[in-house]
Amino acid sequence: MLRAKIGLATAVLLCASSLPTEGRAGLVSLCEFQPSIDYECRDCTPTSTTLPVALFNYPNANSLTNINQIEFTMSMQVGDPAASNLTLGIDGIDTGLALTGFQRDSLVEKTFTMNEGDANWLTPGKEAELLNALKDGEVFASIMGETTDDLKVQLYSDTNVQLCITGTGPETVPEPTSMLVFGAAAFAAWRRRKAT
């Protein structure tokens, strides 16, 4: 009798623990290296405030439901380090991630990170725009300037650019039919034991 009650309690606990009470979202990380474009304009007159630097392909981008970190790595030289006002653009959307610390006469590689909760984090509207832009699985990373003079830069195709976008995916929930079958089997086993 005691053994049957323990078996029933175990079956009930197993069924209850596998029922979805609160789903858990999984971590999704989109991260890829691509070669930079070749571009030299440290002493020229740029005609735009945006310069695409690399195209990234993220086949599982559709599984991203929110963004909690953006990390960007690149190498470049700038025309005037003291007056350079560059930010990261993703598919033409200015993320506000400042790209600073580059020099005029030497090539420097820098990594920039912004996290959810930072003072400069994306507004809800910009995050929604980025999630929408990621749906097709391809995004252009760009450097964006306040003025055309900010794009007096030099990029080299023998250097890599890395863009990592991390967030969460959809909540995972156990399939109800499997839980029902498991519960019915546990109940049948308990009844059989009780009958003997």
User: Per-residue pLDDT tens for 124-144?
Assistant: 999 999 999 999 999 999 999
On the question of pLDDT at 81 being above 50, the answer is: yes
Please give the model's pTM, rounded to 2 decimal places: 0.74
On the question of pLDDT at 110 being above 60, the answer is: yes
Tell me, what amino acid is at 129?
A: E
Joined tokens for residue 100: 């600073």
On the question of pLDDT at 171 being above 90, the answer is: no
Residue 192 phi/psi, 5-degree rounding, is -65, -40
Q: Grade residue 179 by pLDDT with cuts at 50, 70 and 90.
A: low
Joined tokens for residue 113: 């990170």
On the question of pLDDT at 182 being above 60, the answer is: no
